[in-house]
Amino acid sequence: MENLNLGRHISGQFNTDLENVRNKVLQMGGLVEKQLADALNAIVKGDVELARQVVSTDRQVDALDVNIDEDVAQIIAKRQPAASDLRLMVSVTKIIVDLERIGDAAKKLARMIVKGDASQQQLLVRLEGMGRHVSQMLHDVLDAFARLDIETAVAVHREDAKVDLEHQGLFREMTTYMMEDPRSIPRVLEVISAVRSLERIGDRCQNIAEYIVYMVKGKIVRHISGEELEALVR
């Protein structure tokens, strides 16, 4: 985090406060990453107990979400940070929203295993490849946040287009199932909802990548093309 002036403040406590917030975000990210990995493993193995653990972990994620928000509010009120430090605080409040929602998506996947049946679980297994893809995106974007690595952030941002294609392919596949067997429609619609949840995880990883670019470059890049983003960070 050297680029964000850690170690350069007159107040040592300010440095400590910033580092604590950074570490809590990484802790929250680690929990969410494990939630998602465990949810996908529960789907592949049909492991109801592991799925229940994913659901229960969500309380820890929510608690960190609130705790980090409170820490940021106190830092802004007490320290009145400027420039890069303020960008860090603003970005953190946005990053934890996306992390919390990724956790919610993992919980949703896990609940489908808890309440689902064998036929639905067979369909859910089809989501494994896309699930591993967005899991890697999450891992990489958290690593980019830890190191303020905008090249990795941009690479994650680029991956979302591939996830969108996977989403479209799985949607077509599930639509075919429903056409071939109308009795499967209720079950398949839930699986389609799970596919959409994975696609949204990719979107949220892309959001976090944009916040990292904002922290480092001071540029808001939400509404620019991928080509413009890559040109910005060269």
The one-digit pLDDT tens for each residue of the chain (234 residues) are 444 554 455 457 888 999 999 999 999 999 999 999 999 999 999 999 999 999 999 999 999 999 999 999 999 999 888 888 999 999 999 999 999 999 999 999 999 999 877 778 888 999 999 999 999 999 999 999 999 999 999 999 999 999 999 999 999 999 999 999 999 999 899 999 999 999 999 999 999 999 999 999 998 888 787 788 888 777
Q: CA 176 to CA 180: how far, in whole Å?
A: 6
Q: What is the pLDDT of residue 9?
A: 57
In 3D space, the residue among 196, 209, 136, 130 whose CA is nearest the CA of residue 163 turns out to be 130
Q: CA 50 to CA 31: how far, in whole Å?
A: 14
Could you tell me which CATH number the domain at 2-233 has?
A: 1.20.58.220
Q: Are 61 and 32 in contact (CB under 8 A)?
A: yes
Q: Are 113 and 41 in contact (CB under 8 A)?
A: no
pTM above 0.85, yes or no: yes
Q: What is the pLDDT of residue 7?
A: 45
- Give the domain ranges of the chain: 2-233
